[in-house]
């Protein structure tokens, strides 16, 4: 998970399992708790990231659908269809 030290602002990718790891820069302890105060488990961080990525993909799909309805050259249309099918495979 991505951590940011609230003392010195250093941010780094933390792969350990401690709830209060030590900042590599200033050696102060950093909370890995989320806004609601619950500890963030690594699987939860991965689920959050996947949910975010799916959200981004869904937004792109919406943009592609809008583009499709506008007048664009034929070769762009087929490219948009390919992209849409690729995104649908992921979703």
**Of residues 14, 21, 23, 32, which one binds Zn ion by CB under 5 A?**
23
Long-range contacts of 24-32 (CB under 8 A, 24+ apart): 30/3, 30/4, 30/5, 30/6, 31/6, 32/1, 32/3
Question: How many residues bind to Zn ion according to rule CB under 5 A?
Answer: 7
Q: How many residues does the chain have?
A: 91
- The contact pattern for Zn ion, residues 24-63, with x = CB under 5 A and - = no contact, is -xx-------------------------------------
Determine contact, residues 22/11, Cβ cutoff 8 Å.
Answer: no
Q: Which of 41, 38, 53 is nearest to 14 (CA)?
A: 41
Contact window for Zn ion (CB under 5 A) among 16-24, 43-51, 53-61, 71-79: 16-24
Q: Is 8 in the site for Zn ion (CB under 5 A)?
A: yes
The answer to whether 6 contacts Zn ion (rule: CB under 5 A) is no
Distance in Å, CB of 90 to Zn ion, minimum: 37
Instruction: List Cβ<8 Å contacts ≥24 apart for 44-51.
Output: 45/1
Please report, as ranges, the residues that interact with Zn ion according to CB under 5 A: 5, 7-8, 10, 23, 25-26
């Amino acid at each position: 998970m991505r951590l940011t030290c609230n003392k010195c602002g250093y941010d780094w990718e933390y792969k350990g399992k401690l709830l209060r790891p030590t900042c590599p820069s200033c050696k102060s302890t950093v909370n890995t708790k989320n806004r609601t105060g619950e500890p963030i488990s690594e699987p939860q961080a991965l689920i959050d990231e996947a949910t975010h990525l799916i959200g981004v993909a869904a937004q792109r799909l919406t943009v592609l659908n809008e583009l499709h309805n506008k007048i664009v050259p034929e070769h762009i249309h087929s490219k948009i269809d390919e992209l849409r099918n690729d995104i649908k495979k992921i979703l």
